[in-house]
């Protein structure tokens, strides 16, 4: 008897697919097209189980669509620019390019054995000059349309390493290598005008029906549209050139509860006051030492500094309020100045208690007049509340009504104006680093900032650079930096900033439609293949990557690189969960965690112990795989011990794809055994003789059609775990069936087809051994026969007062009246009724019966 040997069959069928070139995406106008895309990987050097799961999901969809008659585009590439390559160059020497292309080769070699239905002829890396040159061309087009500009912005500056740090490189306010306190430094940087599209990006979210609701909500909150009132508080005495402070508030209705004016440490007034106030200068300096990230600022202790300035309340000239500088006010949002209203804002309340500022209630709950103590009263804006002496004449009204009325009132009186604000800021794309796409502009003393001529693109990164000195190698590369001005020809200097890697990933999906075109896209190809019908990736990209890509699609549209229909480039989005694995932890003498590899653990009845020392191990389940925690499972190992189909089947089973899945060695082993059972089952059926009779043909045929229906439904609805469960069930049904050879053969071939998106190699092998025609990858997807799906009886559970007490089997189409008779005749019901009549009898046809007594 032959056995299931994954390594043999997987190589064989991969070679067969290559030979038939089955995954080549062809522009075939006679077929509907389907574009499935998984977020492309960063070439870190090794693929991990998360990649396997991500790409297998896309592969299941791609193969299902091929079988369903679509012309499928399923490409793969590399998000290849970014910091790790430079970090590697600094740590181990060598060049980022060598490191990156080496990693790509390694990862491609690891991915190929998975048998993914990828059209590798379209592969590219974002660090290929052919790719980033086209990106530069688009940048120049964006400049021409006014979508790009320069302004000053702050960066994290490491004063020891003399370099700009990313937020993640700032740890507790210090540089990750130097450990020196990080400073904020202002640089002139490049920006995309994404804020021009705030309203459109927000409104268009409503049309993204096949995106997860949570992603749309997160994007809407990120864009952060708000309507509020902008108005000024006049200073009691002018301070320098300032005679007022302009504030923006979304709760102007609470103006009578104001108790202080807060301004950002970066507010022009705060900066002006620094000159004469050393204490304030020190306070502002301290604020500026905080990280630049919003999370850092929000988490920091709320602190303020009383400037001594006073303003007049706009509703009452005799009422004066102090002006404080506060570390939690962002200069980027609104006017960089607010009024504090402690009764209805927890942060303002904490601040006021800390600095002993008065707290004034402006409204109460309808049934509770208790003044605010330590908990601000912040009801939903839709809740009706009772106003204390409201200036616009309100008595009982909701917050929203009060806001609207106040804005109208203030506009009428002429002391404020209603303003719509967005939280979304322009996209700063400058990076002071080498390994990125050079920004294709030249700085000329006479002409200013001039875009490079398109015929000179790509502006290619120079190879002769070193990373032994701090800072950006482009900055100290005179022969690269010095150039001729594209406008006047005089000596000029190149821009040395490179682009944020989010730029690279904001249009790669469009490039895949025509990856070798000598323009960013090809109109006919983009028109045929766009949009991406199914995009698959991690939830961590819910906001930035997806929002930037949506902006880019619009920018590419107005610069003629994408058709109108591609303004929203992703028709459907699916966000998959992570692959996790237990971690094994002991503690060192200073109680710091020490992680151990799975192979160093011994399992005893008392629990897990470290093999070498017998030390007790704490097992932490469901931890994200990471090298530092030593819980990474290498797909290579799994493929060499069990085969790709086992890895693919495992990551599709059990957990719903949007949730995390825990990798377990036992699960992998069991998966492999199951595939072996399927293979053996097929082997047994292929040896049945033609005249083997049998019984239960009809049952098996019905089970086959139910399996087709259920598995198809599972795949279409991204419920791969349920599809897999149905396939287990169907396999068990076939294994137990005593049906004749024809029915069994049909069943096993159908099983092979239904499994083929998940375990394509095994499916091909079974298909071929059963005498299937051609390759299963090209076989049309089976359709269930409706006649074989009809059930004639149904089991109705009977509840008494909501608790299940019995059940009856009835014909599907039995009338309510007849069901009622049967229910009342049921022993359990009679016993419960004890001769009485039910209060109510609820019959949900085909579902359930509830007797209320």
Partner RNA sequence: GCGGGCGUGAUGGAAUGGUAGACAUACCAGACUUAAAAUCUGGAGGCCGUAUGGCCGUGCGGGUUCAAGUCCCGCCGCCCGCACCA
Residue ranges in 639-678 that form contacts with RNA under rule CB under 7 A? 653-656, 659-662, 664, 666-667, 669-670, 673-674, 676-677
Q: What crossing angle do the helices spanning 49-67 and 644-652 adopt, rounded to 10°?
A: 90
Establish if 365 lies at the interface with RNA (CB under 7 A): no
Question: Cβ-count burial of 524 within 10 angstroms (0-12 exposed, 13-18 middle, 19+ buried)?
Answer: exposed
**Residue of the chain from 124, 231, 363, 502 that contacts RNA (CB under 7 A):** 502
Binding mask 767-796 for RNA (x = CB under 7 A): ----------------------------x-
Nearest to 448 by CA among 421, 420, 485, 412: 485
User: Please, what is the minimum distance in Å from the beta carbon of residue 491 to RNA?
Assistant: 27
Q: Using CA of residue 93, residue 98, residue 104, residue 109, what is the dihedral sign?
A: negative
Residue placing its CB nearer to RNA in the complex, 402 or 499: 499
User: Interface residues for RNA in 214-273 (CB under 7 A)?
Assistant: 214, 217-218, 221-222, 224
Stretch of residues binding RNA (CB under 7 A), selected from 129-137, 248-256, 295-303, 306-314 = 295-303
Q: Which is nearer to RNA, 19 or 803 (CB)?
A: 803
Q: Which is nearer to RNA, 612 or 666 (CB)?
A: 666
CA 396, CA 388: separation in Å to the nearest integer?
Answer: 9
Residue with tokens 């009246």: 817
For the CB of residue 510, give the shortest distance to RNA in the complex, in Å: 18
289-292: long-range pairs with CB below 8 Å, 24+: 289/173, 289/181, 289/182, 289/183, 289/184, 290/173, 290/327, 291/156, 291/167, 291/170, 291/173, 291/182, 292/154, 292/155, 292/156, 292/167, 292/170, 292/184
| DSSP code of residue 336 | S
Shorter beta-carbon distance to RNA: residue 310 or 443 = 443
Please identify which residue in the block is written with the tokens 């990313």.
166
- 837 belongs to the binding site for RNA (CB under 7 A): no
H helix or E strand, kind and range, residue 262: strand 260-263
629 contacts RNA (rule: CB under 7 A):
no
Q: 145 or 673: whose CB is closer to RNA?
A: 673
Mask for 302-341, x = binds RNA (CB under 7 A) = ----------------------------------------
Size of interface with RNA, in residues (CB under 7 A): 96
- Cβ-based nearer residue to RNA, 14 or 505: 505
Which of 145, 299, 821, 830 binds RNA (CB under 7 A)? It is: 299
Nearer to RNA, 42 or 132 (CB): 42
Q: CA 728 → CA 175, 648, 682, distances in Å?
A: 53, 15, 14
Question: Buried b vs exposed e over 329-367: b needs ≥16 C-beta within 10 Å?
Answer: bebebbbbbbbbbbbbbeebbbbbeebebebbbbbbeee
Site for RNA (CB under 7 A): which residue of 481, 799, 824, 833?
Answer: 799
Nearer to RNA, 456 or 721 (CB): 721
Which is it for strands 427-428 and 416-421: parallel, antiparallel or unpaired? unpaired
Q: Give CA–CA dist 206/303, Å, rounded.
A: 40
CB closer to RNA, 418 vs 676 = 676
Q: Is 816 annotated as a binding residue?
A: no
Tell which one of 1, 92, 295, 690 touches RNA (CB under 7 A): 295
Position 63 contacts RNA (CB under 7 A): no
Window of 242-250, 254-262, 727-735, 816-824 that interacts with RNA by CB under 7 A? 727-735
Closest contact distance (angstroms) between CB of 218 and RNA is 5
Q: How far apart are CA 771 and CA 686, in angstroms?
A: 9
Task: Specify whether the CB–CB gap between 255 and 319 falls below 8 A.
Answer: no
With CB under 7 A as the contact rule, the residue among 90, 449, 487, 543 that binds RNA is 543
By CB under 7 A, tell whether 852 contacts RNA: yes
Q: How far is CA 9 from the centre of its chain?
A: 36
Which residue in 425, 481, 630, 769 binds RNA (CB under 7 A)?
Answer: 425
| Options 230, 352, 430, 534; binder of RNA; rule CB under 7 A | 430
Contact status: 622 vs RNA (CB under 7 A): yes
Q: Compute the residue count for the chain.
A: 853
Please identify, using beta-carbon distances, which residue of 157 and 528 lies nearer to RNA.
157
The site map against RNA for 39-58 (x = CB under 7 A) is ---x----------------
Find the binder of RNA among 729, 769, 785, 833 (CB under 7 A).
729
CB of 214 to RNA, least distance (A): 3
> Is residue 627 involved in binding RNA (CB under 7 A)?
no
Q: Does 167 bind RNA (CB under 7 A)?
A: yes
One character per residue 79-118, x = contact with RNA (rule: CB under 7 A): x-xxxx----------------------------------
Task: Give the bridge partners for 36, in sequence order.
Answer: 534
CB atoms within 10 A of CB 601: 15
Give the 3-state DSSP-derived string for 665-698, with helices as H, strands as E and coil as C. Answer: HHHHHHHHHHHHHHHHHHHHHHCCCCCCCCCCHH
E-only strand ranges, 97-204: 148-158, 163-165, 170-171, 174-175, 183-192
Which range binds RNA by CB under 7 A, 134-142, 292-300, 410-418, 511-519? 292-300
Task: Return the residues of window 437-496 that contact RNA according to CB under 7 A.
Answer: none
Q: For residues 222 and 253, is the Cβ–Cβ distance under 8 A?
A: no
Q: How far is the CB of 645 from RNA (least distance, A)?
A: 15
Q: Contact with RNA (CB under 7 A): which of 110, 284, 406, 501?
A: 501
Alpha-carbon torsion, ordered 751, 757, 758, 761, to 10 deg: 80
Q: How far is the CB of 825 from RNA (least distance, A)?
A: 17
Residues 176-195 that bind RNA (CB under 7 A): 187, 189
- As given in the structure block, the two tokens for residue 250 are 């979304």
d(CA 707, CA 725): 10
Let me know: does 388 contact 361? Beta carbons within 8 Å.
yes
Is 808 a binding residue for RNA by CB under 7 A? The answer is no
Q: Give the ranges where 300-359 is alpha helix by DSSP (H).
A: 346-354
Would strands 607-610 and 491-494 be described as parallel, antiparallel, or unpaired? unpaired
- Dihedral angle of Cα 530, 204, 658, 782, to the nearest 10 degrees: -40
Binding to RNA by residue 631, rule CB under 7 A? no
Segment 693-722, which members bind RNA (CB under 7 A)? Answer: 719, 721-722
CB of residue 175 vs RNA: minimum separation in angstroms? Answer: 12
Q: Which residues fall within 8 angstroms of residue 313, CB to CB, at 6 or more apart? A: 233, 255, 258, 319, 320, 321
From the CB of 562, what's the least distance to RNA, in Å? 23
* Closest listed residue to residue 190, CA positions, set 142, 252, 240: 142
Nearer to RNA, 319 or 603 (CB): 603
Looking at the Cβ atoms of 479 and 628, the one nearer to RNA is 628
For the annotated binding site for ATP, the residues are 627
For the annotated binding site, the residues are 627
């Amino acid at each position: 008897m032959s056995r299931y040997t994954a390594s043999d069959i997987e190589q064989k069928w991969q070679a067969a697919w290559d030979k038939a070139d089955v995954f080549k995406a062809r522009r075939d106008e006679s077929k509907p097209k389907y574009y499935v895309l998984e977020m492309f990987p960063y070439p870190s050097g090794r693929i991990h189980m998360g990649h396997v799961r991500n790409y297998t999901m896309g592969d299941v969809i791609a193969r299902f669509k091929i079988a369903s008659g679509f012309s499928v585009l399923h490409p793969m590439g590399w998000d290849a620019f970014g910091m790790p390559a430079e970090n590697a160059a600094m740590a181990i020497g060598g060049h980022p390019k060598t490191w990156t292309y080496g990693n790509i080769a390694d990862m491609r070699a690891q991915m190929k054995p998975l048998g993914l239905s990828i059209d590798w002829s379209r592969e590219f890396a974002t660090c290929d000059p052919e790719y980033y040159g086209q990106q530069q061309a688009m940048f120049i087009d964006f400049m021409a349309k006014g979508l790009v500009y320069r302004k000053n912005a702050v960066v994290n500056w490491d004063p020891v390493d003399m370099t700009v740090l990313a937020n993640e490189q700032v740890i507790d306010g210090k540089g990750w290598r130097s450990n020196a306190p990080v400073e904020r430094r202002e640089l002139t940087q490049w920006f995309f005008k994404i804020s021009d599209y705030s309203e459109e990006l927000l409104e268009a979210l409503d049309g993204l029906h096949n995106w997860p609701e949570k992603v749309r909500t997160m994007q809407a909150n990120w864009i952060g549209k708000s309507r509020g009132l902008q108005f000024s508080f006049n200073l009691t005495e002018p301070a320098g050139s300032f005679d007022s402070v302009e504030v923006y508030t979304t709760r102007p209705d609470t103006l009578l509860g104001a108790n202080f004016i807060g301004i950002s440490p970066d507010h022009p007034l705060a900066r002006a006051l620094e000159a004469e106030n050393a204490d304030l200068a020190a306070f502002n300096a301290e604020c500026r030492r905080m990280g630049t990230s919003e999370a850092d600022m929000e988490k920091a202790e709320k602190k303020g500094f009383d400037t001594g300035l006073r303003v007049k309340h706009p509703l009452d000239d005799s009422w004066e309020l102090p002006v404080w500088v506060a570390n939690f006010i962002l200069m980027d949002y609104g006017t960089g100045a607010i009024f504090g209203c402690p009764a209805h804002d927890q942060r303002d309340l904490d601040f006021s208690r800390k600095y002993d500022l008065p707290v004034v209630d402006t409204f109460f709950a309808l049934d509770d007049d208790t003044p605010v103590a330590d908990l601000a009263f912040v009801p939903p804006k839709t809740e009706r509340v009772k106003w204390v002496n409201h200036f616009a004449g309100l008595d009982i009204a909701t917050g929203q009504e009060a806001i609207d009325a106040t804005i109208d009132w203030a506009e009428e009186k002429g002391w404020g104006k209603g303003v719509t604000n967005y939280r979304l800021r322009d996209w700063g794309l400058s990076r002071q680093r080498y390994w990125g796409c050079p920004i294709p502009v030249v700085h000329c003393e006479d002409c200013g900032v001039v875009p490079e001529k398109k015929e000179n693109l790509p502006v290619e990164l120079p190879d002769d650079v070193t990373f032994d000195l701090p800072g950006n190698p482009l900055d100290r590369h005179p022969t690269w930096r010095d150039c001729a001005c594209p406008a006047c020809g005089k000596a000029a200097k190149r821009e040395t900033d490179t682009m944020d890697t989010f730029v690279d990933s904001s249009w790669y999906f469009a490039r895949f439609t025509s990856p070798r075109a000598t323009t960013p896209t090809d109109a006919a190809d983009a028109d045929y293949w766009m949009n991406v019908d199914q995009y698959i990736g991690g939830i961590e990209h819910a906001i930035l990557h997806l929002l930037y890509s949506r902006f880019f699609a619009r920018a590419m549209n107005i610069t003629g690189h994408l058709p109108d229909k591609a303004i929203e480039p992703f028709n459907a989005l699916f966000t998959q969960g992570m692959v996790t694995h237990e971690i094994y932890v002991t503690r060192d003498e200073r109680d710091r965690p020490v992680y151990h590899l799975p192979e160093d653990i011994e399992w005893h009845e008392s629990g897990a112990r470290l093999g070498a020392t017998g030390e007790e191990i704490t097992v932490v389940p469901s931890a994200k795989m990471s090298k530092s925690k030593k819980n990474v499972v290498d797909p290579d190992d799994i493929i060499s011990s069990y085969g790709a189909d086992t890895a693919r089947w495992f990551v599709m089973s059990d957990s719903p794809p949007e949730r995390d899945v825990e990798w377990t060695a036992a699960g992998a082993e069991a998966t492999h055994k199951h595939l072996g059972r399927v293979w053996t089952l097929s082997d047994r059926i292929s040896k049945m003789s033609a005249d083997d009779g049998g019984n239960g043909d009809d049952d098996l045929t019905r089970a086959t059609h139910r399996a087709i229906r259920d598995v198809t439904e599972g795949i279409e609805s991204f419920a791969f775990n349920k599809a897999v469960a149905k396939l287990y069930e169907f396999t068990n049904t076939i294994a137990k069936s005593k049906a004749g050879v024809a029915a069994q053969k049909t069943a096993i071939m159908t099983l092979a087809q239904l499994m083929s998106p998940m375990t394509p190699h095994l499916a091909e092998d079974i298909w071929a051994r059963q005498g299937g025609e051609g390759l299963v990858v090209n076989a049309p997807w089976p359709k269930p026969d409706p006649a074989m799906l009809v059930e004639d009886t149904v089991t109705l559970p009977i509840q008494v007062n909501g608790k299940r007490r019995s059940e009856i089997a009835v014909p599907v189409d039995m009338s309510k009246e007849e069901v009622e008779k049967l229910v009342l005749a049921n022993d359990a019901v009679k016993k419960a009724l004890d001769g009485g009549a039910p209060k109510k009898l609820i019959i949900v046809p085909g579902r359930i019966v509830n007797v209320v007594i």
